[in-house]
Amino acid sequence: MEALAVLGGSPCASPSSLFRSATHRTTTLSYTHSHLNLHRSHHKLATFRPQSNLLSYYPSRPLAPKKNRKKTHIFLPHLVASLEKVDKSYIMVKPDGVQRGLVGEIISRFEKKGFKLTGLKLFQCPKELAEEHYKDLKSKSFFPKLIDYITSGPVVCMAWEGVGVVASARKLIGATNPLQAEPGTIRGDLAVQTGRNVVHGSDSPENGEREIALWFKEGEICEWSPAQAQWLME
- Active-site residues, by number, are 200
From the centroid of its chain, how far is CA 48? 13
How far, in Å, are 24, 68, 84, 146, 205 from residue 136 at the CA level? Answer: 42, 47, 29, 12, 16
**What is the rounded CA–CA span in Å between residue 119 and residue 161?**
10
- Residue 57 contacts ligand DAT per CB under 6 A: no
Residue closer to Mg ion by CB (options 146, 190) is 146
- Spell out the residues 6+ positions from residue 15 whose beta carbon is closer than 8 angstroms to its own: 3, 4, 7
Q: Binding residues for ligand DAT, how many (CB under 6 A)? A: 9
Q: Rounded to a whole number, what is the largest CA-CA distance in the chain?
A: 64
- Residue 203 contacts Mg ion per CB under 5 A: yes
Position among 146, 165, 166, 198 found at the interface with ligand DAT (CB under 6 A)? 146
How far, in Å, are 88, 116, 166 from residue 159 at the CA level? Answer: 7, 8, 11
Residue span 161-190 as binding mask against ligand DAT, x where in contact by CB under 6 A, dash where not = ---------------x--------------
- Residue 142 contacts ligand DAT per CB under 6 A: yes
Judge contact between 42 and 57, C-beta under 8 A.
Answer: no
- Residue 131 contacts ligand DAT per CB under 6 A: no
- Residue 105 contacts ligand DAT per CB under 6 A: no
Binding site for ligand DAT (CB under 6 A): 137, 142, 146, 176, 194-195, 197, 200, 203
Residue set of the binding site for ATP: 94, 142, 170, 176, 187, 197
